[in-house]
Amino acid sequence: MSGFDLSGLTASFGGERVLGPLSLTVNPGDQIALVGKSGAGKSTLIRLIHEQVGRKSSLVPQELGLVNALPVFHNVFMGQLDKHPTWYNTLTLVRPFAEDRTEVKALLKALGMDEKLWIPTASLSGGQRQRVAIARAIYRNAGLLLADEPVSALDGPLAHLVMSLLTERFDTSLIALHDVDLALKYSNRIIGIQDGQVALDESSHRLSPADIMGLY
């Protein structure tokens, strides 16, 4: 599964509706940039979609969800925890299998941080932590990527490196992005959220930055 069709998505906080009701169809091959100002409902929408499609997706949440006490390797390996029996995961905590070590190291190398493989995650910078969460999502190897501002802590060249890698590894994705230029470059469809509703849904090649800036 890489596409999905959801309807009636709504979310409320403190009795006040912040999202929806809205419907969303994502087709296999859609690489969607989710745009809109902070508080428009992008994070809430990603969370609701993840609740619906769950294990069939790779998730990069905005808060990253890393375990600080564990090394980088184990945080990335968590992407496949549910694919192995408990004994395998327990053994991996003590002595990871060579195949897993090689695969995770290659992923980190693609993200420019293979030397951090055994470093405690707590000691990493914000940008490095973000890349660990991205490596975990890629390692999960699901058909669909859901990512919430995955490059917000990365500078220009690194942001492009990561976005390029994500579009290469995931045929179908929905990525919330604040940077309009990145959104246009690394997507084939733009969905704009405004006041909890879909205010824009268009092919990226038909849009200019000015068409999107109105949402901010």
Find out whether 46 and 174 touch, Cβ atoms under 8 Å. Answer: yes
Residues paired with residue 201 on neighbouring β-strands, in sequence order = 191
At 77-116, the pLDDT tens digits run 999 999 999 999 999 999 999 999 999 999 999 999 999 9
The answer to whether 42 touches 194, Cβ cutoff 8 Å, is no
The Cα–Cα gap between 120 and 90 comes to 18
Out of 1-5, 153-157, 177-181, 202-206, pick the least confident: 1-5
b/e per residue, 62-83, with b = 16+ CB within 10 A? Answer: bebebeeebbbbbbbbbbbeee
Q: Which domains, ranges and CATH numbers included, belong to the chain?
A: 4-65+128-213 (3.40.50.300)
Global pTM value: 0.94
User: For 139-147, what is the mean pLDDT?
Assistant: 95
Mean pLDDT over residues 135-144, rounded? 96
Identify whether the C-beta of residue 36 lies closer than 8 Å to the C-beta of residue 42.
yes
Give the integer Cα–Cα distance in Å for 159 and 111.
10
CA distance 152 to 112: 17
Q: Are 198 and 42 in contact (CB under 8 A)?
A: no
How high is the mean pLDDT of the chain?
Answer: 94
Of the candidates 75, 53, 56, the one whose C-alpha atom is nearest the C-alpha of residue 64 is 75
Q: How confident is the model at residue 214 (pLDDT cuts 50, 70, 90)?
A: confident
Characterise 13 by phi-psi region: left (phi > 0), alpha (psi -120 to 50), beta (else).
Answer: beta
Position 16 confidence tier, pLDDT thresholds 50, 70, 90: confident
Secondary structure class of 139 (helix, strand, coil): helix
The predicted-structure confidence for 149-187, as pLDDT tens digits, reads as follows: 999 999 999 999 999 999 999 999 999 999 999 999 999
Residues 27-54 have pLDDT tens digits of 999 999 999 998 888 999 999 999 999 8
